[in-house]
A and B are shown apart, each in its own frame.
Chain A
Amino acid sequence: MRGGALKRILVLLAALAPVASAQIAIQGETVYTMAGAPLKNAVVLVRDGKIERVTTGAAPAGYKVMKAKVVTPGLIDAHAVLGLSGYLNQPQDQDQIENSAPMQPELRAIDAFDPKERLIEWVRGFGVTTIHTGHGQGILISGQTMIIKTNAETADQAMVPAAMIAATLGNDARAGQGKSPGTRSKMIAMLRAELIKAQEAAKKASDKDKKDTARDLRLEAFVKLVNREMPLLITVHKDNDILTALRLAKEFNLKVVLDGVADAPEVLAQIKASGYPVILHPTMQRSSGDAENLSMETAGKLAAAGVPFALQSGFEGYVPKTRVVLWEAAIAAANGLAADKALGSITIDAARLLGVEKRVGSLEAGKDADLAMYDGDPFEYTTHCVGVLIDGKVVSETAR
Chain B
Amino acid sequence: MRLAISLGVLLACGLSAQTTPVAFTGAHIIPIAGNEISNGVLVVQNGKIVAVGAAGSVTIPAGAKRVDATGKVIMPGIVDSHSHIGSVEGGDGSAPIQPEVRVLDAVNVRATTMQKARSGGVTTVNVMPGSGHLSSGQTLYLKLRQGNTIDDLLIKLPDGRIAGGLKMANGTNPRRAAPFPGTRAKSAALVREQFIKAQEYKAKIAAAGADASKLPARDLKLETLVEVLDGKRVVQFHTHRHDDILTVLRLANEFKFRVVLHHVSDGWMVADEIAKAKVPVSLIVVDSPGGKLEAKDMNIASGAILDKAGVMVGFHTDDGVTDSRLFLREAALSVRAGMSREKALYGMTMANARILDLDARVGTLEAGKDADFLLMSGDPLSVYSHVLETWVEGVKVFDRSDPKDHLLAVGGYGASRNDEIYVDECEVER
Contact = CB atoms under 8 A, between A and B. Distances in A.
- Most chain A beta carbons < 10 A, residue from B291, B296, B333: B291
A63 interface: no
Interface residues of A, dominant DSSP: loop
Contact of A293 (B295, B323, B382, B413): B413
Given A284-B323, A381-B329, A297 B412 contact: yes
A278 B262 CA distance: 39
B150 interface: no
A210 to B, nearest CB: 51
B425 interface: no
A88 B287 contact: no
Interface string B319-355: 0110100100100110110000000000000000000
Contacts of A293: 411-416
Contacts of B383: 330-331, 333-334, 379-381
A320 B320 CA distance: 12
Contact of A319 (B292, B336, B412): B292
Interface string B7-38: 00000000000000000000000000000000
A327 B285 CA distance: 14
Nearest to B384: A334
A297 B413 CA distance: 12
Closest 10 CB pairs of A and B: A87-B290, A381-B332, A319-B291, A295-B411, A320-B286, A321-B291, A321-B290, A292-B416, A295-B412, A320-B288
Interface in B45-89: none
Interface string A292-315: 111111000000000000000000
B336 A382 contact: yes
B403 interface: no
A316 B291 contact: yes
Given A293-B412, A295-B410, A320-B288, A88 B332 contact: no
Given A284-B326, A287-B415, A379-B384, 18 more contacts: A89-B293, A266-B413, A286-B320, A295-B411, A295-B412, A318-B291, A319-B286, A319-B291, A319-B295, A320-B287, A320-B288, A327-B287, A331-B326, A333-B384, A334-B384, A334-B385, A334-B386, A380-B382
B244 to A, nearest CB: 16
Nearest to A385: B336
A165 interface: no
Given A286-B320, A293-B414, A293-B415, A119 B326 contact: no
A384 interface: yes
A88 to B, nearest CB: 6
Contacts of A322: 287-288
Contacts of A382: 332, 335-336, 381-382
A383 interface: yes
A185 interface: no
A323 interface: yes
B87 to A, nearest CB: 12
A288 interface: yes
- Most chain A beta carbons < 10 A, residue from B290, B410, B411, B412: B290
B289 interface: yes
A87 B320 contact: no
27 contacts: A87-B288, A89-B291, A89-B292, A90-B293, A265-B412, A284-B323, A284-B326, A287-B415, A288-B320, A292-B416, A295-B410, A295-B411, A297-B410, A318-B321, A319-B295, A319-B321, A320-B286, A320-B288, A320-B290, A321-B288, A321-B291, A379-B384, A380-B382, A380-B383, A381-B335, A382-B335, A382-B382
A335 interface: yes
Contacts of B192: none
A118 B412 contact: no
A296 B286 CA distance: 18
A327 B333 CA distance: 11
A287 B295 CA distance: 23
A263 B336 contact: no
A90 B296 CA distance: 11
Interface in A87-139: 87-90, 118-119, 122-123
Nearest to B294: A319
Given A87-B296, A286-B320, A324 B336 contact: no
B214 interface: no
B176 interface: no
A265 B293 CA distance: 38
Given A90-B293, A320-B288, A323-B287, A383 B415 contact: no
A88 B290 contact: yes
Interface string B273-303: 0000000000000111111110110000000
Interface in A354-400: 379-384
B413 A263 contact: yes
Contact of A286 (B289, B323, B336, B386): B323
Contacts of B186: none
Contacts of A380: 382-384
A123 B288 CA distance: 8
Contacts of B382: 380-382
A122 B336 CA distance: 15
Contacts of A118: 289-290
B379 to A, nearest CB: 10
Contacts of B287: 320, 322-324, 327
A384 B336 contact: yes
B106 to A, nearest CB: 19
Contacts of B197: none
Contact of B292 (A318, A324, A327, A330): A318
B331 to A, nearest CB: 9
Contact of B290 (A89, A286, A334): A89
A330 B291 CA distance: 23
A322 B289 CA distance: 8
B111 to A, nearest CB: 12
B293 A88 contact: yes
A237 to B, nearest CB: 12
A294 B335 contact: no
A294 B415 CA distance: 9
